[in-house]
């Protein structure tokens, strides 16, 4: 007798926050429909079209591990806040995703900031990415029972099993902490984040996941946005890309998430200062 393939719960963006968080806690990931409106998707894609055209598939690191991880036929680029105001307004400041992040990361620190915002466009024939955990970016900070990062994979085009929808192992966020760099899976333990454009999969930094194999003849366009607790260094050096003049045009909360603000720990510690004052005072 064949076992049914696991499925992530699919909820609407106006679902009560408590229900969204319950689904996230149970499975490690939850799909939220219409997280981006049709107009927001169109505006973001229009803003980023030049980046798609200019980007070269594959990793530029020269490191075998990263080249395998990034995939030879996957386009990635970052600095999205510098490329798209629509990204800032609709993704970086997305009210549903940030409300979930407020709740999930509140136990890890007093605040959080952008870890990375990046396009992940998976091309035809791309093999499945090896399974991993996002929290392993910060191995020294990982601890059982503590979330240090939360991510959302926004679908800028329809995600299907055939075109490489993200593969996750529901419930794997409860497995003991530790480095995951490739893992054998069986069909009865994995779920696919198949979802229409505008949806988003919000997922734990502890869940084991990876991009699926693209067996179609088209591209799968996704946008990964993740936050990390404020006392850790992010993957992306946003203030080196978002200069002070551009930051001055953005809402205050966007500036803080992009590194143009300081971190004030609940215990009184203050970091990322300018002349011992909050970096936000640069915009007074």
**Sole residue written with tokens 């955990």:** 133
CA distance linking residue 253 with residue 147, whole number of Å: 22
pLDDT for the residue 223: 98
Low-confidence ranges of the chain (pLDDT < 50): 1
Tokens of 28: 């490690």
Query: Is there a single domain that holds both residue 121 and residue 248?
Result: no
Q: Is residue 155 part of a domain?
A: yes
Query: Is there a single domain that holds both residue 36 and residue 98?
Result: yes
DSSP code, position 92: I
Query: Is there a single domain that holds both residue 142 and residue 243?
Result: no
pLDDT for the residue 2: 53
Enumerate residues 6+ apart whose C-beta is below 8 A from 97: 32, 35, 91, 152, 200, 202, 225
pLDDT for the residue 1: 45
pTM: 0.95
Query: Is there a single domain that holds both residue 214 and residue 178?
Result: yes
Query: Is there a single domain that holds both residue 15 and residue 118?
Result: yes
What are 225-278's pLDDT values in tens digits? 999 999 999 999 999 999 999 999 999 999 999 999 999 999 899 999 999 999
CA distance linking residue 211 with residue 226, whole number of Å: 16
Query: Is there a single domain that holds both residue 199 and residue 243?
Result: no
Tokens of 22: 């319950």
Query: Is there a single domain that holds both residue 217 and residue 246?
Result: no
Whether 7 contacts 191, CB under 8 Å? yes
Q: Is residue 2 part of a domain?
A: no
Three-state secondary structure call for residue 192: strand
Closest to 184 in 3D by CA, of 130, 107, 117: 130
pLDDT for the residue 69: 73
pLDDT for the residue 70: 76
**Sole residue written with tokens 């480095």:** 179
Query: Is there a single domain that holds both residue 242 and residue 230?
Result: no
pLDDT for the residue 75: 92
Query: Is there a single domain that holds both residue 254 and residue 164?
Result: no
Query: Is there a single domain that holds both residue 89 and residue 160?
Result: yes
pLDDT for the residue 71: 76
Q: Is residue 5 part of a domain?
A: no
> Residue 85's domain is classified under what CATH number?
2.60.120.620
Structural domain tally of the chain?
2
pLDDT for the residue 100: 98
Q: Is residue 199 part of a domain?
A: yes
- Domain assignment of residue 277, given as a range: 238-284
């Amino acid at each position: 007798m064949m076992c049914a393939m696991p499925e992530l719960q699919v909820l609407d963006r106006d679902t009560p926050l408590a229900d969204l968080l319950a689904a996230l806690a149970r499975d490690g990931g939850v799909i939220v429909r219409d997280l981006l409106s049709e107009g927001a998707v169109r505006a973001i894609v229009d803003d980023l079209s030049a980046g798609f055209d200019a980007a070269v598939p594959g990793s530029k690191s020269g490191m075998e591990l990263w080249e395998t991880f990034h995939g030879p036929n996957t386009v990635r680029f970052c600095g999205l806040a510098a490329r798209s105001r629509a990204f800032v307004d609709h993704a970086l400041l997305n009210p549903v995703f940030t409300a979930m992040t407020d709740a999930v990361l509140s136990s890890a620190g007093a605040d959080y900031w952008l870890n990375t915002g990046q396009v992940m466009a998976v091309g035809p024939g791309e093999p499945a990415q090896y399974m991993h955990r996002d929290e392993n970016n910060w191995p020294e900070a990982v601890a059982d029972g503590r979330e240090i990062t939360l991510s959302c994979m926004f679908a800028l085009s329809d995600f299907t099993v055939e075109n490489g929808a993200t593969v996750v192992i529901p419930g794997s966020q409860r497995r003991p902490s530790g480095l995951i760099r490739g893992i054998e899976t069986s069909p009865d333990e994995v779920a696919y984040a198949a979802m229409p454009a505008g949806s988003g999969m919000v997922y734990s930094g502890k869940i084991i996941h990876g991009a699926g194999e693209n067996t179609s003849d088209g591209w799968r366009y996704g946008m990964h946005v993740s936050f990390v607790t404020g006392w850790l260094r992010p993957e992306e050096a946003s203030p080196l890309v978002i200069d002070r003049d551009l930051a001055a045009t953005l809402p205050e909360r966007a500036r803080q998430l992009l590194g143009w603000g300081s971190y004030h720990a609940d215990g009184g510690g203050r970091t990322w200062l300018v002349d011992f004052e909050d970096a936000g005072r640069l915009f007074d």
